[in-house]
Structure formats: structure tokens, C-alpha cells
Structure 1
Amino acid sequence: MELLPGIYEQVISQYLASKLSGPEREGRVLKDPLARFDPQNVLARHIAKILRGALLSADERHLPLAEQVRICNRLIGHLAAELHDETLERCAITPDAEILLALAERNPSALNIIAPARPETSIAQSSLFTGSPKEPGLVNEMRKEIQSADRIDLLVSFIKWSGIRLILDDLKEFVRHGGCLRVITTSYTGATDIKAVEVLAALPNTTVRISYDTERTRLHAKTYTFHRNNGFSTSYIGSSNLSSPAMTSGLEWNIKITEQDSYDIIRKIEETFETYWNDPEFVAYTPESREQLRHALSREKRGEFDLRPVFDIQPYYYQKEILERLKVEREVRKNYRNLIVAATGTGKTVVSAFDYKSLIRRPGEYPRLLFVAHREEILKQSLQVFRGVLNDQNFGDLLVGGNEPAQFDHLFTSIQSLNSRNLSDLTPPDYYDMIVVDEFHHAAAPSYQKLLTHYTPKVL
């Protein structure tokens, strides 16, 4: 073994001591007492490394496995004698040299033993997932981890519906049998889907806690911990959030650690999770929290496009006239399908925003709105107009281009995104109170027919 300059953390054996001696090493060797370095763990690792090397060497020399087991048992017997601990003798390996894989639940009525599901990767030895097609799929491994866990703690910076639906059936079965599920997430970057949070929070024996303070907290950790009461807990730590690409096709790296070979790390994960869980920063999600989460997600996503300052916008006189005529059409003539025709630049979008504002009965309780246009730039400008008229910079979400909405209740979307995302399949015909279609002459195109034939809003 060649000793190169650098940093080390290695027990000094007699062999290593001989390498460190000599005039050429004088003044270059830095050492510290073993007692300062968690000596029991250090000694155990040292012996384990020696034993592993010796057994591999024995195997290369074709020493039978039975003889290797006998060598291990003699070492255990020597430890028992040296420490005068008879209980150590019971740690000797049985002559059959077998591995316990499972202990099935007691079921007197079952004719056959049904083996519990188990991951392909070891639950006693750590492993690395790199997204390679040659290794087990991350989502399939996690599904099997769920099926054999007693408790589950998930710590992820954001949660997508596309990710939750991959493991939702397994989670439902897990909690149905009494398993406890705890989830910590945030509104950071506005990437979390409200639907995913709602579905999780609605499960029995499940609590979801959310941090809304993204300026201070900025939680970006991803840890999936599967607790087992038998001492075989596992935890996945890495780059994958709860989204479909991250869990399936993405080039994500995640390491799976086990309680058996990384006991201290598992304990630290548990302790840190408990610290977060009991921190007032992370608030339990309830159905009443929906609006708070929606606002927080919208606020985080505002950086995706330029914001304009909010002013107290008032309609021009001719815009007021249009609004008054709309009111008459609805209240007197009961016509709720209305067409506004005006020259370019005269503020038809402003009129639609004030028209929408007139539907609000109580402050902050916005009727459901769908605003449809054919270009992304028009949608961004229109959203700013509505935010200005409502004096609410958190109002509305975009569904266009790379923008993902946190909710569908107040949505500004292109007709292409509406059709490609099958919004009509996700929302019933009477879902929206008002639908606004910009540049309505485009509605003659076939792409608009799905919108106009599916939805029956109160106001179009």
C-alpha cells in the first residue's frame, strides 16, 4: 500500500505504523488518540473491513462456505470468552447458514403463507439509484417499501399530482391497515399541486404539514423514510421530489440507506424530521387552509413573468357605459351570453375584469373564472389587468407554455393548453361561474368547440 500525501481517518495498525516510520516521514505525520473518534464505531468498522477482506480471500481460495461460517462462529465465541458475556455465544450462525426474509402475519384461516412484498434492493445494505435502466425502478421500489412499512415519513420540498398518483393506491392500502403517514412540504417555488396535498391530507392516519415562509426556510430536502418496528427501517435521500419525471424517467440520484448498516444516519433523519414536525413553521393542512396555500403558491410563481404595480384602476366613461348595458342585459333581459365589440386598445379586457368584479359578493370570495386567449403574451397581460382591478397580486394562475397552475378555480389559459391538458375532463360543465373568451372571432375554429359545447357557465 502506497501512502500518498493527503487527509486520512484510519486506525493505525502495526502494518500502517511500519509505513509511517522512517526519516522521510518525520514531521509529516499528524495523529490523534482513538478515544476522540467514537472508538466503538471506529473499531467495529476496522474489524469489519479486515473480516470482509479475509473472507473474500478465503472464497478466492475456494474455502467452503461452511468453513467460513465456522471461522465467524469461532470469532464470536472468542469475543464471548474475552468479555465473559454468554449472550454473545447465541449470536453464532446456525449450521444451515440461512437468511431470514420475512415473518408473515398470523392468519389461522389462511391455507398458505403469503410472503410480504419486499424491495429488490437490500433492506440491510445501502444502495444507490441513478435512474439507469439496468437497476430497479425507484417508484417500484418505493411501492414495495410502502407495502412493508409500519410508519412512513416523507420530507419533500414540493409534491406534484403526477408523482402522488404513482403511489396513491399503495398509500391508501397502507393507511387502511393502520399505518401512520406524515408528510412535510413547502410552497417553495410554487411547484406543489394543491390537488396532491388535498388527496394526501384526506387519507386516514395522515397529516400533512406545510411551510409557507419560503424566504427563511427554503426547504429543498427530499427524504422518504420507511420505519419498520423490527429494526429494518430504510430511507431514500437524494434529488427526487414527488413528481412523475423525478420518480421514473429523470436522471435523478438517490441513495437508499438502511438501519442495519447506517444506524446513526437513520437516527439523525428521525430526530431532524421530529424537529421540523414540531416546529411552528410547519403548519398542519386542513380543508380550511386551501386558500392560504393557493395564495402562497401563486405568490411564489409570480417571478415567472413581469409584474406591474397595483394601482386603484377606474373604468373610463365609455367602459362604464358598456358595464351598465351588460347589467341591463342580465338583470332585465336575462341574457347571460354577452358579446363586447370595441376597437383595439379601448380596454375590452378591463371591462371584463370589472364585469367579473361585479360578481363578487364578499371580499376575497372570488367566483370561479376561466379566461381563454390564443397567445401567451395576451394571457399574461390579461392576468395583470385582473390583478390590478381586483387589487390582488395573488389572483389567478397561468396554464400556458411552461406555466403550471396551482389551481383551476381562477385560470388564464390558451385554447391549445386547455385542450391538450383535457381541462374539460377535470372540471364539470357548471364548474366556472364566468368564462371570458378573448378575440371571440377565433371561436369559429374547431379547437374552441370543445370549450363552448362542454361548459355551461353562469356568464359567458
Structure 2
Amino acid sequence: MTHFTEQLKNSLEKGFIDKHHHHVSPFKPELLMNEKHKRQDVLTSLLDELKGCQSFLFSVAFITEAGLATLKSTLSDLHDKGIRGKIMTSTYQYFNQPKVFKELLKLKNVDIRISEVEAFHSKGYIFQHEEYYSLIVGSSNLTSGALKTNYEWNLKLTSHENGEIVGHFLDQFEEMWSVSVPLTLEWISAYKRSYRPVFGERVAEFPDSYGVNRLKEALQVEPNSMQLAALSGIEAVRAHGNTRALVVSATGTGKTYLAAFDVRRYRPKRMLFVVHREQILQKAKNDFHRVIGGDESDFGILSGSSRAMGARYVFATIQTISKQETLDQFNRDAFDYVLIDESHRAGAVTYQRIIEHFTPQFLLGMTATPERSDGYDLFKLFDYNIAYEIRLQEALEEDMLCPFHYFGVTDLEVSGNQVEFDVFTQLVSEERVERIIEKIDYYGFSGERLCGLMFCSSKREAKRLSEELNHRGFRTCALTGDDSQEKRRVEVTNLEEGRLDYILTVDIFNEGIDIPSINQVVMLRQTESSIIFIQQLGRGLRKHSSKQYVTVIDFIANYKNNYLIPIALSGDRSQNKDSIRRKVIDRSYISGTSTINFEAIAKERIYESINQAKLTDLKVLKEAYHNLKNRLGRPPMLSDFVEHYSMDPIVIGTKKGHYGAFLNIVEPDLPDLPSIHSKVLLMVTQELLSGKRVHEALLMQLLLEQESLNKQDFIHRLREQGIRSDQATIHSLENVLSLNFFKDADRLKYGGHALISWEGEVYRFSSHMHSLLKDEWFTQLFKDVLTASLARGQRYDQTKPLTRLEKYTRKDACRLLNWDKEEQSTIYGYKIKHQTCPIFVTYHKGEDVEASVNYGDSFINPEVFHWYTRSRRTTKSEEVRKIIEAQEREIDIHLFVKKNDDEGGDFYYLGEVKPDRESVQDTTMLNQDGQELSVVTMNLLLQERVDQQIYDYLHEQTH
């Protein structure tokens, strides 16, 4: 019986006969649903199957552009691997729009046919693997809603290739395929002539497709959910007697309307609204008039030749209002309500001038990006009163923004030592222009006509690319900072009204421009800032009746700042490379029907950039520290970084050994810790702050609250909180806090004194710790580490020693597997101790690795890992016998794998494994001198299948 067959039988046992069947079942039948709170959706399972399959068959009645867009990047990668598939769909109820059939024709590795069977309504996905087939059958059509957000039921089954059920599916598919019509341009033309959309169903699928929501909005202007919450927040700020407030709100969430609603509620005698760019003045004035009502003459613009200085509601550009001769014409109390749009710019001299001049009763700032890299404290300007905050992920979750499909595609390679002229020549070369056209066509856009923005790296590039695109039939223009406001206004109108396909620009449209009909954003420049990235992405996120989603195409070359892309998309501010890397591996954090997709080579370039990035440079950490300090109005503690989803406390807490030492650098007025205090703080920071096991931190936190604690009471407390409480773990905890676990050098580094003592069954702080806790500053820092450790520990499964797919060092394994001593330096690839055997594998070894240890460890598939023992071992060696006979000897084998040495000393924990005895064999390998060395190889059977995304990441070789 093969390993797969055994696994399949266990899966069927658990899925259909006994749910308590003890075997972990990677192929067990699954009900696939879209469950937001669990961050699970049908799409992830579909993509996982696609990535690992040898061929695929889809039989789906309904397909939408947005649904197809979710697969395009993966299908492109499959095309590069030579993997093909078939999709059979229908014209049932005229659901499928003519345009989606044109999109299907773009799939080079997929054969498409149209079933003409009446009432064709199937929803099935079949994936061929090496020895088996996977089937996903149920209610989900190929639409973004069905794959990501709708309430759907789909059953995922796995069948041996000889199974009867898969045979029925394959026969039925081929039977229908044989009588279906191949998709051609001629067929699409004929379908378009006969196409009769059913209005009701179109609105049900796309609630705003026909402007229904726009019509409702026109009849009645009322606050949305975000605006209601923000209005309450602003009112609460005023109720406490404050005169300033800041609203942090993602681009496209309706900040202008929010401001208008608050002005309507506040009813000022006069209001000043200050904006950065002239383009949005007229729209802002119209939106305010629509909300507030009254005479149009009450609303006036102060910019350029328009000088409505006496209006009740004045809408001014910063360039005009900040001029001294303009300010001199206004009394300091001329306005009782002042609004600053894009208020992250308020540190500039022009803004400071008007803020210092006017004395309003209330000052409101609005921004999507409050964090500053110039050190300016925006929060202080608004007295640290954050009335409301909603970021990109939350706004998407609340359905306030247009969904987007982001595609990170592969751009040309740029050599780091190329001169500027050579780079420019490459950027506008025929090869690159053709590549741009290929990708913008393949990934497409939503709606009937293209309305796109391209962000270029230089004015020269924008102008030349515009010319090249125009020569190839596109209608484009380049706009830069050299162009007048009137020129910009005219070209934006041309884009909105369909006379242009694209505007190519550099940075002038990052903010202060509102073109809701944008349905494609193309990024042709390297990412220099996560703030600018989000600003440019945001150009397409406003909802509009002409589109159901916006396509974002990001051309990723081999730039050193590529690591900023996942940071920007996820909002991850941890500065933790593992956390950021995870945002590339697993993109399920994105809300709603939006998706994030990377082509394979582009993804590898981001991984390389993450590996090389200097995320923990002191300068970077200081900036992140000051950003949080500015927000809080006081020096932050480690627990503040956790609470505010800011930097990972591990990153900043361990930078200088412990956080107290870091604070001494950024806050010179804070006290220095004596050496004996510093050593204990170093110990709890280095060993416990990670939260990988919370037992030690929890015990000491309890001892800070009470002088002593009975061991049984502590065990009871652990059980109450669902934390494991076995005797081996308790003994390990005692070893760690007594410092007996550590080597002599570490014990000396950590002060050499136990942190706790116990007599019989009662725990207490040691006398040494009692003396240290008399120092208030030490106590504050010590408590803070414990609090941060417990908060961080929530990401780990505390019912088990190790959490699957989290990362651990060899030292972590020693402690968490309850070894008496820290023996990381002698583990090497593996070590058997205390009935456990951790195995550590570096999957892609460096070229400088000696041949005698350069084993061919590799995945055979997500369930089986092919592994080699140390050299100079045979199947008769005692350590090898222990591994082969691990089950009989009750030895638990744990597998840890990292992709390469660029990841540092942390390994992904892939779970427990058992040797496949039939695969064990003696073999040999050559060392660097050409000498043959004996070695044993075997297959390790994973208790639980590796998640496809982690498998792909580890398995794929870096380009």
C-alpha cells in the first residue's frame, strides 16, 4: 500500500465513518465555505489545487470578469510550466457577459467550450495530480463573490485515479465537452448580437452595475457607516472640551462628505476648507452644497482668479490662502471652523502659516497617511485627539471601497551598476513596451471602456512611453509637474469622457485628484514608499457605476525596495521579516472580493528584497518609535507596540539587548539601569518576549500580584486558560527560571541568579529578584516585557509545545520540547533527546556548503519529505535505528524546514513525521575530496499535509 493510499483510507475513515478517527487526514472530505472570521474562502482552496495540479477541468455555468481575474496570475504561471486545462461554460440565462468570453480567449493554456445544453447549471472543478484527482463540487460559480464572500457550500473530495466516482465525473465532463462548441471570436460576435441581459440578476450579482446605489445617493445624502462612527468620534472630542481633532481614513472612504456632515451638524458662522490641489476644489464645494444646502452664493472658491473671500464657506488651495497678502485680508477669528484636507502635509511652512494665523473654534484634520518620515508630529498638532481611524483593510471589509485585483508582474531586470541613460533606454525599449501592452491586455479592466492611470519613474519615461503607446493604437497623454492646472483639468476630462485610454504621470496624481471611473492602475516605477504606494493604489478605489473592480498591475523589477509592496498592501508595520514574508506567502488578509496575486518570478524578487532589507537598522526603528510616540503623546512601551499593531516588540525590544537600553538611546533623560538589573531584563527579553511559551511570563506576572503561588493553583490557572500543564512542561519552566537550563556563559550573561524559588509546592520570586524589584523603573520595564510576551503569545497554540507553520530556532526547540539543557550547538541537523527528535533542514543550501553535508533533502509532495541522515551512518547505526523505530520506541520526530540561510536561524515547524520503513535504504555521497561516505535516506511521512502556499514557497528555487 502506498503512502497516498494509506492516507486516503484514513481520510475516508474520518470523513465518512468515524469523525473521532485519530489519524490526521490530509485528504479528508471538506466542506468549503467563505468564512470571513476564519479568514477562509473557496478561492484559496481552488488556487492551492491549481498550483499543485498536472491538469484541470472546470465545468461552471456562470463566469464573471472579476471571478476570472482571481485566477489569471496563477494560470499565467501554469502556462509557463506547460500545464494546460479546460473550461466549459454556458449561455444560461444570458448571465455571462460577452466581454468575459473575450477575457477567456486570453488564456493561452486553457481550451474553452460553450455548452449548448438547455439549463446548463453545473459548478465543478477537477484537478489531476500524480496519483489522484481532487474534486470541488457545489454551489460556487466562477465569480468573485462565490469564491470569496457569498454563503456557499462546496464539497472537496479526493479520489485515487482508479476510483469510480472520479471516473463518473471525467466521463460526464468528456461527454459534455464533445458536444460543446469551441469558443472563437466569431462565436462571441454572434453571442453579442443575441445577448439579452436579465436586469434583476445583473443587479443581484453586481449591486451597483446599473447605478442603483448612485440613484439612491442622488435622492438622499446620508452618512455611511464609517461617517456615522467618525461623526460620533468628532462629537465626543468636542464634548470633552477639545478644539482640535484628526480623522485618519483610507482614500476613497468619503472624507469630504464626512467633513460636510460635521459642518452641517456644527453650523459654523464661517468655514474654511484648505486643500492641496486645485483639481478637487470644485467637487468639494459641490459636495458641501449638496449636504448643507442653502444658497449657492454661500459657497466660494479661493484659488487662482477666483476670489470668493467673503463667502460663508470658503474652499481654498494652500498655495493661495498661505500667501501673506491673502492672509492679511482675513481677521484671525474670521472662521470658526477650519478643515485641513491631506493634513499629513501640515508640517510644511505654508500650512503652519495659516494654522498660526487663524484661531477657529474647531480645527479638523483629515488624512489617509498620518505617519511621517520627516519627524513632524502631526498628532501633536491636533492635540493627540484621533476622532476616528479606518485603514485600507477595514475600509474594504466594510465595503466602502471598490474591490481591487492586484497583480505583481515581472518587469525587466535592472542592473545596480547601470548608468541612468542605460536604465532609461531599457525602460522605453520596444521589448518593455510590448511587455507592458501584453500585461495590461491580459489582466484587463472592469467595464465597457478602459480608463487608466500609469505611474512612471520619470518625466522622460512618461513622455516617451506615451508616444510609444500612441504609435501602437492607444490614446494616451503624459502629465507632469511641468503642466499647467488647466492642462491637467482638460486631460482628466478627456480621460473621464473616453477620449483618452491612459494618463501617464510621475507623482502629481498621488493625491488631491478624484477620478472615480479609473478602472486600471499601472505602476511602472519602483516602490520607494509604502505611503506613496497606497496613495497611487487609492486612485482606483473610489466606487463608480461603470466598474465592479479596479485592476492594479505592478511591474516588479529587481529593486531593493520591493519589500515595501507587501508592507503597503497589508499595512504590516511590524518590521519583522518573517511577518512580512508571510504577507507574500499567504494573502488571505485582504478583505472582501479583492485579491492579491504575484507572478512567480515577481514573487521571488520580493522574497529576495525582504531577505536583503535592513528593517532593523537603528534609524528605521527610531522612526517607527517616534511615529508611535507622536500618536500616543508619550514614550511607548513594548505593550503599546502590540496594542497599536505597530512594530513587533521582538524587533525593537531585542535591538540593543533589551528595551531599556534602546530607550536610553532615544530618550536620554530616562534612567540607566544598573548592570544587575539590566542582565535580568536581558534574560526575560531574549528568552520570553517571543511568547512562544507563555508559562514563564504568566507565572511571574502572577507573582507580581501576590507574594507566593501554590504550584497546584498555578496549574489550575493554566488549565482555566486552556494552556497545557503537564509535569514535563512545569519542570522545564522551573529549569528556565532558575537558569539551570542555560549554558554557563548564558547564565553569567543573565546575572547568574535564579528569578524564582520554590519550597515544596510554593513559588516565590527569589531574594535576588525581590531586591531588583525595589527599583521602580526596572519594575516597569520588567512588567512590560511580561505583558508584551503574553499578548504576543496569543498567536501560538499554547495547548501544544509547538505550533505548526510558526518559526522556531534550535534553541527554541530545546526549551519547548522540555529538554533539561540548552544543546542547540550540538543538534546540527537532528538530535534524539528526551524521547524527542527535532530535525532541521535548510531546503536550498548555499553554494559554499561542504559536499559532505549538502544532502538532497526535498519534498516528494506536500505529504512526504525525502530526508538524509548524517554522513558515515548506516541502517545499523544506533541513532538511525532509533529514528526508524521511532513509533515502537515512542520517540516523537519533529520536522523544521527553512528555505535558505537568508532567513536566519528560524525554521518553519511542519509538524510531526514518521519514517516510511519501506523507503529506508543505505546509500553513499561524495565529500569535497571525492571520497564516498555512507548515509541513510528515507521518506518522512508528515502527520499533517503542508499548506500549499508554504510548500510552494519552500519548494520553489529562487531565481
For normalisation by structure 1, the TM-score amounts to: 0.40
Give the number of the structure whose residues are more often strand, by fraction. Answer: 2
